[in-house]
Amino acid sequence: MIEVTLLGTGSPIVDPNRAGPSTLVRAGDQTFLVDCGRGVLMRAAAVGVGAANISALLLTHLHSDHITDLSDIITTRWVTTFTRSPLKVIGPPGTSAVVDATLDALALDISYRVGHHPDLTEGPTVEVEEVTEGVVWASDGVQITVGQTDHRPVTPTIGFRVEFDGASVVLAGDTVPCASLDALAAGAGALVHTVIRKDLVEALPVQRIRDICDYHSSVEQAADTAERAGVGILILTHYVPGIAPGQEEEWRALAAKTFGRQIELGNDLHRVEVHPGVCATNG
């Protein structure tokens, strides 16, 4: 079984009830954090996970709302572990530059802490792997495969497929429908997909906000992708605009026009269990 927790279901728009985009995936004894939007460690703490518990941080792309709390994860992991514990970060090309810039920004803080604590003899260590496709993780029964997505002009962007003990979950990140995502998600137990309500966004009077429609999937498009890929569960997140209380079934109904199986959405900390054999043919 793979456990998926929507740590943050928000977007760049600040919402007092929704943390920034981030999803926690637990498979066996391993814990993966997919993207790290604002407030991610506070949400993770609510389900008993700290920065020191993260097996790897997986970044779908480098838009600011998906990496806002990178510095918090780096620093908190460093100061809460008492043996050398490099943070593994897997992301698209450009990730190394972002991590290096973050460490540069933290340089004064690092020097203060090293100067104050005798047991801190070096700064935080981060191991970055930049990828666009292929198997990027194979450890203790967990395999993670990367495929490209389409969030142009942001490029490259990637999604992750996590497989463990017969269960599988694909995390799409921000993307429009594309053949490479269909291939990555084919036959998966669950697809975690970011979504916007294009009907609501297009009605807004600000062009800058309406611009997001051309590089995000609508609820209906995410459902189409899930249906084409034959996944068992569609998990929606990164809601734009945020789902207002009482509107959940309206959003679900839009997805259900195309996707007739299990549809999950909700508030931060919404949890979904994905068991082996959950897909279009066996679900």
The residues annotated with a catalytic role in the active site are: 65
Whole-Å CA distances, 20 to 17, 38, 52, 63, 242: 10, 5, 20, 12, 11
Length of the chain: 283
Can you read off the two tokens belonging to residue 9? 């279901």
Radius of gyration of the chain (CA): 18
Separation CA 1–CA 103 (nearest Å): 36
Separation CA 280–CA 272 (nearest Å): 17
Separation CA 41–CA 52 (nearest Å): 11
Separation CA 196–CA 194 (nearest Å): 7
